[in-house]
Structure formats: structure tokens, C-alpha cells
Amino acid sequence: MPYTSEDRRVSIDRRSIETVPRPGDGHKPRLPLEVLVILLMASVTLLVLGLIGWHLITNRNDVLNRAEKSAANLASAFEEHLTVSIGLLNDTLLAARSQDFVKDSDRLREGLRVRPGLNDIALQVSVADRTGQMIASNFDLGGPVSIADREHFRHFADSDLDDLFISKPVLGRVSQQWTIQFVRRRITPAGQFDGAIVISLAPEYLIRFYHTIDVGPSGLVTVVGLDGVIRAQTTKEHSSFGQALGDAPLLRAAIANRIGFVRSSGSADGVARLVAFKRVGNYPLFVAVGLAEEDVLADFRREMWVWLAMAAAGVLFLSLAGTLALRQIRAQRVYENRIADHQRELERQVAQRTHRLSAEIDKRAQSEQALRESIEAMKKAQSEALQASRMASVGQLAAGIAHEINTPIQYIGDNLRFIGESLDELMDPVENDQKQTTASGSDASSAVRKKTPAEKLKFLRDELPTAVSESLDGVGQISRIVLSMKEFSHPGTTSKTITDINRSLESTLTVSHNLWKHVANVEQRFDPSLPQILCHAGEMNQVFLNLIVNAAHSIETSGKPLPGSIVIETGHDAGFVSIRVSDNGTGVPQAIRSRIFDLFFTTKEVGKGTGQGLAICRDVVVDKHGGTISVDGEEGVGAIFTIRLPIAEIDGNEETQ
């Protein structure tokens, strides 16, 4: 079988085929990417929900704690009010019980007139003798009235106690109204029981404090005896008295403690309340102020629904993002599988061709050597192609720098040729002018040859210094470009160096001159007193280059007359160095300013922007230098990018850039 060039291209060493790594060889099993994405999205969702739940629980507890303190303050104020009122009643009873005027209704009424404060509190004042028969009252008795069977009379008739007795609400036999009896023992001069003096108080008086405070639509204020009977109670809807609390947690807590707090389940009216209680002085009463949990948590519940709506929206967004990511992963996997199938097919074809050619390998040693050389050349070409691909990112900048250097080199060459030929003119005899005029040369040297010796000397004296000066300027320009290239390509280091920001900007403008010179004029407003700072010089140069190139592209695509304008300013204040790059391009729309520094976000057409430039700027300025970068300006007028870098204290041991 003849050996063709096609066979040479596909014939390779069987050993190289056998050592081609297969996908997955030598690697431990890994979780599928879809599972990792799902786990990530689930973790983020749980984290967000957990944070929202923690916030809501904390906020709810804070609201309840504030409500408890408010209820306790109201209970203390209520208790102080009742203590003063009951103290007035007790003092009145103690002062009047031994007086003779209390045995006669007319004289009793006369005595009450001189105590207007008591008239505002008491509904009825009455006196009973030792048998329980009423002997005086500010009400018209209209006949015999006995209270011998009343609990508040029996309390003293059946014992030697001499305390203030506060009765349960009872229906008055004279006033025919429900009242609470404040009773003191009357004694004879010999200390014997002589009856009782009673001040009857309407239950509503005890809770009139309710109308001076705000306990919410479902709040409650109550006065309860330690016997468990409610003396007076009111809510916004209705008032009541005389009910028994039974074995309620509030009663047990009030008996055990003088002041405290309980949470009522609302068994009586179905309203759960936060109840603060306090004992009334040394009397067998306590006051309680209850704030309905529904009222207390009303604002919290509205906030909770807002947070839950936000959480639902966040979960929906994460779900959509996860779905899109999974679809992208699946599409990428399908693509990778197709590539793998294609690679396996190619390997199969190569293996088949190698098998057919294996019989001729021993006979074609020379061809095999040539084939090895071809393979090595191919590998070298592949390596060079890979290197060329890596250098493509700096190609445009290098081309511009080459163009900038080429221009001064051209006129340096022209001037050197002119100087060389002019020197030849000075060395050759004047009589050879005719012969020399036939020689080729530049226009400038031809002009010399056509002149007389005196004219030549004058011409050369005038032109040679100019040519030398222009050549030196060209050399200086090349030197500046090379120096700027050196400073711009400052190798990255792990530590920061002392850097002159003005000089870095000048170097960046020099190396990028070819990128903006046809579309914009650059105005430099550098602060000559700008202090040097510690920074990563090479990375900051890249930031400046990105902003300058973006400004040039914005002007070029704006449709405005060229050249446009780029203004670069530096300054310092309050411990920061500021760099401001502005242009008169298209500007940055307000709607996208919050996303312009996001990775892979770009406003350029597909294929013309990677969305990494400004993200890199933000990473370098904010994350690596602790500075800030912001965008401003008006849409359609131009963009203004401002960088602020901290001025760190320099200890003198830092490397200077």
C-alpha cells in the first residue's frame, strides 16, 4: 500500500495514543454541578428565611417587652391614685367614728358639707349602732333599716378587729345602688363595740382612672380584692363588677407578690392580654392593667406581612435564578457531551488508521523520524499559538505604542541622513559639486548641493542645529514612551509601594495615547501638591487605563462631533487622594448605575465588551486599597468617575515607584 501525506498526518505513535488521558481518569467522584447549585440556592434561601425569622422574633419580643413596661407603669400610676383615694376615706372614717354628730342624719349631712372632697368620692355615708340598725345617713332613711346581716357589719360585730374593711359590691338598701362599702368599727369611750360607720363608693369611681389613659381598643383596667372578687372592671366596650376570678393565674400571682406581670389567655372574653398588677398599699386590693396582644402587636403584624412578602419575593427570585442556572448548566453539559463524543470519534478514527499503518512502522524508520519531527513542530506551533492567544489582550496597546515610537524614529532617521550627507558636503572639495549633484540623496541634501560654498555653510549652520534638536526631541519622546511603558508595566507585588499618582496617570496616558488621540483631547488638571500614597502601582495603572479607554469608547460611540473631551483631575482632602475622570460621551443612565460595577455587566454590543473592566476597577480600588469608586454625570452629557484612595502613613521603609 503506498504511503501518502494523508497517512503521514494521521499516523502517530501507538504509545502516544495509549497514554492520552481519558475524561475522569485519576479524579475522585464529585457531586454533579446541578446538585451543588441546588444546595447553594437552598442554603441561601434558608439563610434569608432564617434571618427574616430571627428579625421578626426579636422585633416581636421587643414589642412585647415594651408593652410589659408600659402596662407596669400604668398599673403603678393606677395604684398610686387608688392609694390616695382610699387613704382619704380611711382618714375620714377614723376622724368621724368617735364624733357625736354622726349619730344624727341632719348633723351628719352638715358635717359632710364641710368636706367637699369627700362628697366628690362618696355616694353615701351611714352609721349603724351595735345591733346593725342604721341611726344616721346622708340619705333619707324613710324607716328602720338594718345591716346586721351584711358581711361588712358582721366583720366587726363578730370579732375584735379594728381595720378598714372593703366589701364586695352590694346593692344598697337605702341608695338602691350597687356600691362598695368602706367600713370602720365604732367604739365607746370604754373601748366597747358601738356599731359601724360606712362610706359607700360607686364601683365606677374606682376605675375612672381608665378614662385618663390609653390602653388600646381591647385594653382592660380592673380592681380586684384578694378574695378574688372584682370590685370594678372596665374596657372600652363595657364595665362590670362583682364577678369572681376563681382560680385565675392573675389572682394567684397577686396573692404571692405585691407587683408582677402575667399573660392572660382571655378565658372570660376571648382576648389574650399582657396584664401588669400591683397591690394597693396595705389594703386587700390590687389593680391590674391589661393590654390586648392584638393591639400591642398590630404594627408588628403589619411589618411581619411586609417581611413575609419580601421573603416570598426573594424565594421566588432565587427559584427563578436557580432554574435559569440549572438550564444553563444542562445546556453546557449537553455541549460538553457533544464535544466529548466528537473527541471519542476522532480518537476512534485515529486508532483505526493507526491500526492499518502499524504493519508498515518497522519498514519506515526514516518516515517515522520525519513524522516525529512533524509532531514536534506541530506541538511547538500549538504552544506558539497559545502564547499568541495570551498576548492578544495587549496587542492593541502594543500596536499603538509601536506607532507612537515609529513616528519620532522616522524623523530621527531623516535628520541623521541629512546630517550625514551635510558632513559629506563639508568634507568633499567644493569643485566636486557637479559630480555630487548627480548622486542620489534626500531633498534637504540636494538643496545643499545647489548652493555656493558660502551659502552652503550658512544653510548648514542654520539647519544642522535644528536637525540635531529635532533628533534629540525624538530620542526624548521615545525615552518618555519607553519609561512610561516600564512604569505602566510595573510588575505586581504582594506589598504596596510608594506611588506618585500624577506620574502614574501621565505614564498611562502616554502608553494609551494611540487609543484616544483620534477621538478626544485630554486635559490634565493635576494637583502639584498631591501626596504620594501606598498602593499596588501596576493594578492602579490598569484601573486608570480602563477608565481612559472607556471614556474614549463612550465619546467615539456617542455620535457627537470629534474630537471629544476627557478631563483628568487629581486632588486630596480629609485623608484621601481623589482621581476624577470625566468625558462628554453618552453618560451612564441612572437606571443602571447601581449595577455598572457588577461582574460581567456591560452596555456594549455582544463581542465588544466582557463586563470585567469596571468590576476589576472596583475590586482594586475598594477591596485591595480600601477606597471608593463612584459614577456621576448626566445621561447624554457625559460620565464622571471618581476614585478616592486613603493616604496611609509612610514609614520610610517602603519601596518607591
Partners of 521 in the beta sheet?
565
Q: What is the pLDDT of residues 129-168, one digit of tens each?
A: 899 998 888 888 778 889 899 988 999 999 988 899 998 8
Q: 327 or 210, which is more confident?
A: 327
Q: Is the pLDDT of residue 477 over 90?
A: no
Q: What is the pLDDT of residues 76-96, one digit of tens each?
A: 988 888 888 888 888 888 877
Binned at pLDDT 50, 70 and 90, residue 3 comes out as: very low
Q: Is the pLDDT of residue 409 over 70?
A: yes
Q: Is the pLDDT of residue 579 over 70?
A: yes
Task: Report the chain's terminal Cα–Cα distance, integer Å.
Answer: 69
Report the C-alpha gap between 128 and 196 in whole angstroms: 5
Task: Give 511-573 as a 3 state SS string.
Answer: HCHHHHCCCEEEEEECCCCCCCEEECHHHHHHHHHHHHHHHHHHHHCCCCCCCEEEEEEEEEE
Q: What is the pLDDT of residues 24-45, one digit of tens each?
A: 444 556 667 778 888 888 888 8
Q: Indicate the range of 25-34, 72-81, 442-451, 527-536 predicted with least confidence.
A: 442-451
- Dihedral over alpha carbons 108, 111, 113, 116 (to 10 degrees): -110
Report the C-alpha gap between 363 and 393 in whole angstroms: 48
Residue 614 contacts residue 623 (beta carbons within 8 Å): no
Q: What is the mean pLDDT of residues 330-347?
A: 89
Residue 86 contacts residue 118 (beta carbons within 8 Å): no
Res 631: pLDDT? 93
Mean pLDDT of the chain: 78
Res 326: pLDDT? 84
Report the C-alpha gap between 550 and 556 in whole angstroms: 10
Res 16: pLDDT? 43
Q: Which superfamily, per CATH, for 489-646?
A: Histidine kinase-like ATPase, C-terminal domain (3.30.565.10)
Residues in the chain: 657
Fold of 206-296: Beta-Lactamase (3.30.450)
User: Which amino acid appears at position 324 of this protein?
Assistant: L
Q: Which residue has the cell 494609551?
A: 512
Q: What is the mean pLDDT of residues 339-368?
A: 85
For the entire predicted model, the pTM comes to: 0.44
Report the C-alpha gap between 126 and 134 in whole angstroms: 7
Q: Is 463 exposed, middle or buried (0-12, 13-18, 19+ CB in 10 A)?
A: middle
Q: Indicate the range of 57-71, 432-446, 522-536 predicted with least confidence.
A: 432-446
Q: Which residues contact 6 (CB under 8 A, 6 or more apart)?
A: none
Interior angle at CA 589, CA 616 and CA 314, nearest 5: 75
Q: Which residues contact 537 (CB under 8 A, 6 or more apart)?
A: 487, 490, 497, 499, 504, 657
Q: What is the mean pLDDT of residues 527-538?
A: 89
- Dihedral over alpha carbons 152, 158, 160, 165 (to 10 degrees): -10
Q: What is the pLDDT of residues 199-221, one digit of tens each?
A: 888 887 777 766 777 777 888 88
Binned at pLDDT 50, 70 and 90, residue 426 comes out as: low
- Cell for 191? 373601748
Res 20: pLDDT? 44
Q: What is the pLDDT of residues 246-294, one digit of tens each?
A: 768 888 888 899 999 898 776 566 788 889 999 998 899 999 998 888 8
Q: Where do runs of H (alpha helix) occur along 98-221?
A: 105-113, 116-121, 151-157, 203-206
Return the CA Rg of the chain. 51
